[in-house]
Amino acid sequence: MKASSRSKQIPRVAAVVVVAAASLIAWRSALAADPPAKERDRSQSERARRELIFKSEPWRNTFAGLDQWLSIQTMYDKDQIADIKKQVSDRVENMSADKLEDFRQQLDAKLQMVLSPEGRDILGWVAANLARAAPAYRKKLGIEYPDVAKLTVAQLREQLDLLIQKRSGAQQSSAAFERARQARIAGLQAQQQQDFQERQRALDRTPSSVSSPYNPGPARQYRPEYGWRFGFW
């Protein structure tokens, strides 16, 4: 009797296991096909926040500033400007709403630096020097145009300060060179004036009776065989 009872229970247990497994598979399939309501709500809320940021006035102002900087800088050509804009668009494409706002604030802070009078002045100096230098000589200059789109705010500030120091050093070296050049010119002019004055004094001390290429001496009369004539000894 006990063996018969056990044999009857085994099919029942197997059936329960099969039903449970089927239920688990169906539950997992449902989760894969249709995420939970909370997840859907969270995703929709994130998309809505992103849209609000893209349409906000601060976002529009920041990217208007980016367009302004790209339009006045002289380092990048049209193709490079288009590439910079694409890089920025690719970066923000998959950012969360929180990261988007942080990115906007960082970009806005960098644009304030490069669009300030100080920033425009130093970046203009860098661009002008790089444009005049031959490709092989650019490395010797030791200056690079900062990648505003990729640098952090702190990195950009550090690079701008370094460029300002290098320009100050270059200006001091140039001023010292110019002072030395002017001193050499003044010395040469003084030496020329001194040489001229000494020649003049030497001529003034020369007696008028002494013949020279410039002072042939007084005319002398002599009696030739055929009457009077005049000439020079």
Query: Does 193 fall in a domain?
Result: no
Structural domains counted in the chain: 1
What are 96-128's pLDDT values in tens digits? 999 999 999 999 999 999 999 999 999 999 999
Query: Does 139 fall in a domain?
Result: yes
- Rounded to two decimals, what is the model's pTM? 0.58
**Residue 67 binned pLDDT confidence (cut-offs 50, 70, 90):** very high
Is residue 229's pLDDT more than 50?
A: no
Query: Does 22 fall in a domain?
Result: no
What are 166-223's pLDDT values in tens digits? 998 877 765 655 666 666 776 677 777 777 777 777 777 766 555 555 555 555 555 5
Domain with 160, as residue range(s), is: 48-181
What are 35-66's pLDDT values in tens digits? 566 666 668 888 899 999 999 999 999 999 99
Query: Does 228 fall in a domain?
Result: no
Is residue 227's pLDDT more than 60?
A: no
At 141 the pLDDT is: 78
Q: What is the 3-state secondary structure (H, E, C) of the chain?
A: CHHHHHHHHHHHHHHHHHHHHHHHHHHHHHHHHCCCHHHHHHHHHHHHHHHHHHHCHHHHHHHHHHHHHHHHCCCCCHHHHHHHHHHHHHHHHCCCHHHHHHHHHHHHHHHHHHHCHHHHHHHHHHHHHHHHCCHHHHHHHCCCCCCCCCCCHHHHHHHHHHHHHHHHHHHHHHHHHHHHHHHHHHHHHHHHHHHHHHHHHHHHHCCCCCCCCCCCCCCEEECCCCCCEEECC
Query: Does 67 fall in a domain?
Result: yes
What are 6-30's pLDDT values in tens digits? 554 555 544 544 444 555 455 455 5
At 105 the pLDDT is: 95
Query: Does 98 fall in a domain?
Result: yes
